[in-house]
Amino acid sequence: MTDCLFCKIAAGEIPADIVYQDDQMVAFKDIAPKASVHILLIPRKHIVSLAELEPGDSGLIGEMLLKTQQIAAEAGLKEGYRVIANSGDGGGQEVPHLHFHILGDVRDDNWVGF
């Protein structure tokens, strides 16, 4: 989609601190981190949210969740990490392009901290 912030980041049209990318996905540091490590992982394909996923997206989503292992390891998260996907207004989603938040060092946070 042309007028989508995260599509523009994926296309390199808006700068971001990219930590991983391949032909299917891009991971970059959140501009307003809510934890000492806060990375967003997005598909290059414009999918609005989990609620708009189609059966054909299952492989892509599986690859993305698997890739969180490598991204977290490269970010130094030896003790674990949290993955969050806000979906729609009721889920607190602000950017309408599917993204997984990858967070480290969240032990003192509650589950709905942002």
Write the secondary structure of the chain as one string of H (helix), E (strand) and C (coil).
Answer: CCCCHHHHHHCCCCCCCEEEECCCEEEEECCCCCCCEEEEEEECCCCCCHHHCCHHHHHHHHHHHHHHHHHHHHCCCCCCCEEECCCCHHHCCCCCCCCEEEEECCCCCCCCCC
| Smallest separation, CB 55 to ligand AMP (Å) | 24
46 binds Zn ion (CB under 5 A): yes
Residue 92 partner contact from ligand AMP, Zn ion, none using kind-dependent CB cut-offs of 5 to 8 Å? ligand AMP
92 binds ligand AMP (CB under 6 A): yes
99 binds Zn ion (CB under 5 A): no
19 binds Zn ion (CB under 5 A): no
Residue ranges that bind ligand AMP, judged by CB under 6 A: 5, 16, 30-32, 40, 86, 92-95
